[in-house]
Amino acid sequence: MMNSIMKMNYKLPGPKSKAMLERGIPLFRNGLRYEEECKKAARRGYRGASQVVVGRAQGSFVWDLDDNQYIDFQNGWASNPFGNAHPEIVEAVHWAHTRYGFHYDTPHRYELAEKLVQIMPNRALTRINFEISGTEAAEAAVNLALTHTKRRYIISFSSSFHGEALGSKMLSGTSNNNHYMEAWSGGVITAPYPYSGEIPAGMTQEQYVEYCLWYIDNHITSSIVPANNIAGLIIEPGLAEGGNWIPPKRFMQGLRELCNKHDWVMIVDEVLTGLGRTGKMWAIEHYDVIPDVLVFGKNISGGIEPCAGIAARDEIMGDNEHYHTGSTYAGSPAACCAGLKTLELYERENIVEYVAYLGEIAKGIMQKWTRYSIVNEVRCNGLLLGVNFVSPDEHQKDWWFAREVRSRMMENGVWAINDRQTNVRLYPALNMEESVLREGLAIMEEAIAHVDSIRQSSFGDSPAWPTGDAGF
């Protein structure tokens, strides 16, 4: 563990990381304009976001190429339930590679499916289909709903994220990943998600939830598509990429009621929120709701080997001649061995209960941060953690503050996530030591306090201090 990390002041990127970035970024997307955008940002008075290149990772820590150490709150985009490179999972994957290489059908595929159906909500989802990534799994779930109901439309939600393939881009409610694809979205109907940051017309949170449910049950079915031609809906029980927004219980239960009313398939995308992240095995269990299809991924293979899939009710997947999906490497021996070892560790170390314990600690610390003028909301559900930032002054962009807080955290040794959004997201390892969690949150609060304290003196009509993302 780190010692006196609050005294750190890393100059980022360090020379080795900077050299690698300059060498590598031109090879990837936007590489042709990277250097010019950096110059433009500098001319506008922005300083680029803190960037590093990972040199090594272990447990709850990462080190960059310059050997600067960080508490890892980004956690492989929430893919490493036990932190980085857990030795038992690495060993299980190595054993599978050595024994099988790659072949599709090995006993571990069936064994993992047996384990998964035992941990599904109320043990009601009895059929498993493996995929490689959460993207593929989300698309597989929609395909299953369409072929089961023999209907043509699916409802998704604003600011949702279900992946980066063509189909999942259409399902996702974010506007920055589906440019020029309008013609491909004909089968997707987007409904409002009642996240608390953007409530219209002076409504209360409760009124907005009721409006969102009304919109689905009345506006969509009367003005867009008849209810009997909608196959179902896909929902995140925690708007993860959209900022770790946590939906009210009434909303999730209302969606279940609508699905029952119209014979729609209720799909919950738990790629990020599932497998203990929220202090229950599945986030949907906070709402006393049992879905028809559940999408899983990320944590299932311990962050070592790609693995994802869906679980569904027997009557939906048990006999569906038109449903077909999968990939060459889906359910590979190494992925399934990783999954089996991961679930063994969950049980052996009481991970879900421990997350609930850590989540209460995090909530107790973070809820006090609303006293800072740039913080307008803190969200905590287990270790699904988010802080939303807002500019106290109209001419200042909200995301400047989120980006600057994240950069200050990096400079003091904590790595979190900010994608030019108004929030900073945290995904600690589910087995993170309490002392490490507390230290990381203390560093984040220092960053918030620092940015808040210099806001008035550093921002003016021609801001020279706000952070930009260099345009890439």
Residue 431 half-sphere exposure, CB side, CA atoms within 13 Å? 19
DSSP state at residue 48: P
d(CA 100, CA 106): 9
Q: Within 13 Å of residue 174, how many CA atoms lie on the same side as its CB?
A: 16
**Residue of 390, 377, 400 whose CA lies nearest to 239:** 377
Enumerate the β-bridge partners of residue 425. Answer: 386, 417
**pLDDT value, residue 181:** 76
* Measured distance CA(48)–CA(467) in Å, rounded: 6
The confidence score (pLDDT) of residue 462 equals 34
Q: How far is CA 335 from CA 126, 305, 431, in A?
A: 20, 5, 21
Contact 218, 270 (CB under 8 A): no
Q: What residue spans define the domains of the chain?
A: 5-67+351-458, 87-348
pLDDT in the model for residue 454: 80
pLDDT at residue 468 in the model: 37
b/e sequence 21-44, b meaning 16+ C-beta within 10 Å: beeebeeeeeeeebeebbeebeee
Which tokens is 66 given? 């310059």
Quote the CA–CA distance of 383 and 162 in Å, as a whole number: 20
Q: What CATH topology corresponds to 5-67+351-458?
A: Aspartate Aminotransferase, domain 1 (3.90.1150)
Neighbours of 365 (CB within 10 A): 17
**pLDDT, tens only, 385-422:** 999 998 887 767 788 889 899 999 999 999 999 876 88
Q: Of the candidates 38, 6, 3, 47, which has an alpha carbon nearest to the alpha carbon of residue 403? A: 47
In CATH, which of 3.40.640.10, 3.30.565.10, 3.40.1390.10, 3.40.30.10 is domain 87-348?
A: 3.40.640.10
What lies within 8 Å, CB to CB, of 3 at 6+ separation is: none
Neighbour count for residue 337 (Cβ, 10 Å): 29
Of 260, 317, 305, nearest to 117 (Cα)? 317
pTM for the predicted model, two decimal places: 0.92
> What pLDDT is recorded for position 147?
96
With a cut of 70, list the residues of the chain below it in pLDDT: 1-7, 41-49, 174-177, 196-197, 395, 420, 456-472
Listed in sequence order, the residues at least 6 apart from 116 whose beta carbon sits closer than 8 Å to its beta carbon are 128, 296, 309, 311, 339, 343
